[in-house]
Amino acid sequence: MFKRILACIVCLSMILGCVLSVTATDVDEIKQKQEALEQQSAEYEAILAEKNAAVEKQQEYVDAIVGKVETVTKEIQLSHEKIALLDEQILEKSNLIKEKNEEIEENMEVLRQRIKTIYLAGDVSSLEIIMGAKDFSDFLDKVQLVKSVSAHDEKLINDIQAQLDQISAEKEALQLDKVDLEDEKKNLEEKQSELNKLLAENKETLATLQEESDDVLHQLAMTEEQMAQLDDELAQYYRDLAAQQQQQQQKPSPTPPPTPVVPSTGGYVWPCPGHHNLTSMFEEWRGYYNHGALDIADGSIMGATVVAAASGTVVATNSSCPHNWGKYYSCGCGGGYGNYVWINHGNGKETVYAHLTSVAVSTGQRVSAGQYLGTVGSTGHSTGAHLHYETRFNGVKYDPLSEY
């Protein structure tokens, strides 16, 4: 929808970029262009409101993602702190285990002294068993066999072993907690990476929406500028019209024109003799406007003769357009008409003959029905050789076929 409207306004801008001079533009033509621009302006206002709403909604979404990223970042930092605390606790347990082992070594010396006493008492077999221990664990097993060790010694050994077991279990639990925290931290970092990716994508979408909104705002400003230009054009038209009327009042009355040629049917003379094929009818829909004329065209119409449909006065012409070929855009010449002839027939009636290759009459000239005006071409906004034949009554376009 937006692209279609944009294409329409660009086309309209090209047409308005080279508006007919004030002597060649009537009030109705300018008003129609003003209405078209006002409609385009309203459409752009609606699009702009839609784009701004989309930008606002996208901004809210981006802000929400930013909030999630910040939360996950804080959670990762908290995991770092928890892991550091566990490392400290694990180190503390390791130091305790080391201390207990040192304490065991100290108690082993006491036990050795006791064993020496046992030896001196003559209990050689028990001494040999105990002194043959490979390590402390083996010693604990063998010491049970030594019946001569006191209950106090046995309790001392058991207490130290119990403390070692408890500290080792606490250390193992801390290490398991650390593994869980590291897994949690890894999951949070993956979530953070995904959110950052999503944030980058949505920031790009936000930038695109903002750019589209800026484009619409620019086109709206251009439309308003063109409307102001048309207002100036209309004011100039009225100033020129007043000046022309004042000049006419100062001139003597002209000699009455000769009696015009009246066609046998009692209507207008056909504007392109020998060529009657119609490729476009009056009020035909063109996608964004209704065609207000007839298009006469066939394979041999390029350069064909164009004549006045009725007698009258030429009020405007253009013969400066050099772009005489088919095109799907307006070259801007003659306000899109290219080379043209505009005739006022009196009693509010006018005819326009557009897209001509050449023009044989001039502004202010009197012409009679059937008089040669120029040749068919494809100047202005024309996709191919044809005659654009337009009729008006009091400035309002009507069907030319009603005259035949």
pLDDT at position 319: 93
- DSSP string across 144-188: TT-TTS-HHHHHHHHHHHHHHHHHHHHHHHHHHHHHHHHHHHHHH
- For 100-117, write each residue's pLDDT tens digit: 777 766 766 666 676 666
Q: Write down the mean pLDDT value for the chain.
A: 76
Domains of the chain (ranges, CATH numbers)? 1-251 (1.10.287), 278-403 (2.70.70.10)
In this predicted structure, the answer to whether residue 341 has a pLDDT above a threshold of 80 is yes
List the single range of 1-5, 50-54, 103-107, 202-206 with lowest mean pLDDT. Answer: 1-5
With beta carbons less than 8 A apart as the criterion, state whether 373 and 319 touch: no
With beta carbons less than 8 A apart as the criterion, state whether 85 and 187 touch: no
pLDDT at position 6: 45
List the single range of 26-30, 85-89, 282-286 with lowest mean pLDDT. Answer: 26-30
CA distance 254 to 92: 121
pLDDT-based confidence at residue 365 (cuts at 50, 70, 90): very high
Measured in Å, how far apart are the chain's first and last C-alpha atoms? 41
Element at 294 (helix H, strand E):
strand 294-296
pLDDT-based confidence at residue 261 (cuts at 50, 70, 90): very low
Mean pLDDT of 88-101: 78
Mean pLDDT of 226-233: 70
Percent of the chain surpassing pLDDT 70: 68
pLDDT at position 151: 58
Residue closest to 261 by CA, chosen among 312, 193, 203: 312
What six digits make up the tokens of 85? 């605390």
pLDDT-based confidence at residue 14 (cuts at 50, 70, 90): very low
Q: What angle do CA 11, 14, 19 make, to 5 degrees?
A: 130
In this predicted structure, the answer to whether residue 317 has a pLDDT above a threshold of 70 is yes
In this predicted structure, the answer to whether residue 17 has a pLDDT above a threshold of 50 is no
pLDDT-based confidence at residue 250 (cuts at 50, 70, 90): low
In this predicted structure, the answer to whether residue 252 has a pLDDT above a threshold of 50 is no
- DSSP string across 89-157: HHHHHHHHHHHHHHHHHHHHHHHHHHHHHHHHTT-HHHHHHHHT-SSHHHHHHHHTT-TTS-HHHHHHH
Mean pLDDT of 368-392: 93
In this predicted structure, the answer to whether residue 274 has a pLDDT above a threshold of 60 is yes
- For 114-151, write each residue's pLDDT tens digit: 666 655 654 445 555 556 666 666 666 655 545 445 55
What six digits make up the tokens of 198? 């999503």
- For 156-206, write each residue's pLDDT tens digit: 667 777 877 887 887 788 788 878 877 877 887 887 788 788 778 888 887
Q: What angle do CA 47, 50, 52 make, to 5 degrees?
A: 110
pLDDT-based confidence at residue 73 (cuts at 50, 70, 90): confident
More confidently predicted of 146 and 19: 146
With beta carbons less than 8 A apart as the criterion, state whether 319 and 358 touch: yes
**Count of CB atoms situated within 10 Å of the CB of 150:** 9
pLDDT at position 248: 54
Percent of the chain surpassing pLDDT 90: 24
Mean pLDDT of 222-235: 70
* Phi, psi values for residue 149, rounded to 5°: -75, 140
